[in-house]
Amino acid sequence: MRLFSKYKVPYLTFDLLEETGLVKHGFSTRFGGVSSGHLSSMNLGFLKGDDPDRVNENYRRMGRALGIKPEQMVMSVLEHGTVVKRVSADDAGKGITCPSDLSGCDGLITNAPGLALVCRYADCIPLFFLDPVKMAIGLSHSGWRGTAGKMACATVKAMTQAFGSDPVDILACIGPGICRDCFEVGAEVAEIFASAFPGSDPELIKRRGDGKYLVDLWGFNALAMKEAGIRDDHLEISQLCTCCNPDIFFSHRVTGGKRGDMAGFLMLG
Ligand SMILES: [Zn+2]
């Protein structure tokens, strides 16, 4: 990933996507917005107790930096599942500038140019997809449930069904999220990963002396990408931990939930 800044708004981009010249995209940080206190300053969540005018201004600022208007954005409806929905120009603005009638969907896909997919995060893993052949995109939210449910596979499958995408053509990126050493879980969750990914590298689920486990969500998402047919040289992993860097990112774990939302943005054109 690379850090850019426009109009005093910093954002991260993936080299793999940037190099194609086919999309506008970015991932926000805590900086460049107008929210205050524990939401300081680029809070992109409308459900975090923030003044809606401030959140709207934050979306306007992010959009200005990325070259995307808020009316062009459509937001996913998070439920920690693996439902992926296809959206079109008719859905523009939903969840950002107008109410959304979309039901639960942690992933969005489209082939509509000028429609920006938006998804919120704070430790969960962002997944970005671009099929430069069929000209289609996807943006997904993969927390631990989504990761164990193989959200990466669900998104690729949805693109294949909707747009005829061939997985070998798709460029995929795993964005900033919680790292293995920060993601402590109990035996139950560790067991869910062990059965979802049998025979995987033992380093992905590390047992600590105190009986707790550390689970590598980046690594498991990368495994799911491979299972979906994504080529190794078509995968970029940010390796930026939101929990290790709470001064740069909002982290759910660090704050116990008292925090703002970051967002990923992806648009064809
Ligand atoms: Zn970390």
* Residue 250, domain CATH: 3.60.140.10
Its domain, for residue 162, covers 2-179+217-268
> Is 40 inside a domain boundary?
yes
- Cα(182)–Cα(238) distance, rounded to whole angstroms? 16
Rounded to an integer, what is the distance from CA 133 to the centroid of its chain? 22
Q: How many A from CA of 204 to the centre of ligand 1?
A: 14
**Predicted local distance difference test score (pLDDT) of residue 174:** 98
Q: How many A from CA of 182 to the centre of ligand 1?
A: 4
Tell me which residues of the chain have a pLDDT lower than 70. none
Q: How many A from CA of 171 to the centre of ligand 1?
A: 25
- Cα(148)–Cα(220) distance, rounded to whole angstroms? 8
Q: How many A from CA of 243 to the centre of ligand 1?
A: 5
- Cα(163)–Cα(5) distance, rounded to whole angstroms? 33
**Predicted local distance difference test score (pLDDT) of residue 142:** 98
> Is 34 inside a domain boundary?
yes
CB atoms within 10 A of CB 8: 9
> Is 157 inside a domain boundary?
yes
> Is 193 inside a domain boundary?
no
Number of structural domains, the chain? 1
For 93-123, how does the pLDDT look when each residue is reduced to its tens digit (9 = 90+)?
Answer: 999 999 999 999 999 999 999 999 999 999 9
Q: How many A from CA of 187 to the centre of ligand 1?
A: 20
Q: How many A from CA of 132 to the centre of ligand 1?
A: 32
> Is 175 inside a domain boundary?
yes
> Is 259 inside a domain boundary?
yes
> Is 86 inside a domain boundary?
yes
pTM for this prediction = 0.98
Rounded to an integer, what is the distance from CA 128 to the centroid of its chain? 7
> Is 159 inside a domain boundary?
yes
Q: How many A from CA of 230 to the centre of ligand 1?
A: 26
Residue whose tokens read 């959200």: 151
